[in-house]
Amino acid sequence: MRKRSLMTVALVGALAVAGCSSSSGSSAYTPPTGPPVKTFNLAASNFAFAPNTLTAPAGIIQFNLKSDGLHDLVIEGQPGFQIEATSGSTKSGKIKLAKGKYTFYCDVAGHRAQGMEGTLTVT
């Protein structure tokens, strides 16, 4: 599938940007401060997010990611933002988004190709 080559490109790009920083992909990301205008409780499993169609107002959006496997949540076009949750854990993260349509996905190898993605519409 074409998606695999896109993911490879994204991975190479991320590595290039990460440079000599730590192996944690989220280390350089500075989350917004302040209360979220919207909080989503998402369940991540093999291989889907539930729910996977989200709508929120513009501003700070919080994700609580409950995972039953090793999964993460990243958003296309939002480098550095990543919520990673190991099996049985719930991890949270915040990001400030402007109006637009976003695609979020799990960037653990192979997961997105198997369906771990969704859309977030910010109005």
Please give the residue ranges that form the binding site for Cu ion (CB under 5 A): 71, 106, 108, 111, 116
Q: How far is the CB of 67 from Cu ion (least distance, A)?
A: 8
Q: Which is nearer to Cu ion, 108 or 113 (CB)?
A: 108
Q: Tell the smallest beta-carbon distance from residue 12 to Cu ion (Å).
A: 20
Cis previous bond, 49, omega within 30:
no
Output the smallest distance, CB 106 to Cu ion, in A.
3
Give the 3-state DSSP-derived string for 67-96, with helices as H, strands as E and coil as C. ECCCEEEEECCCCCCCEEECCCCEEEEEEE
β pairing state of 100-105 and 117-122: antiparallel
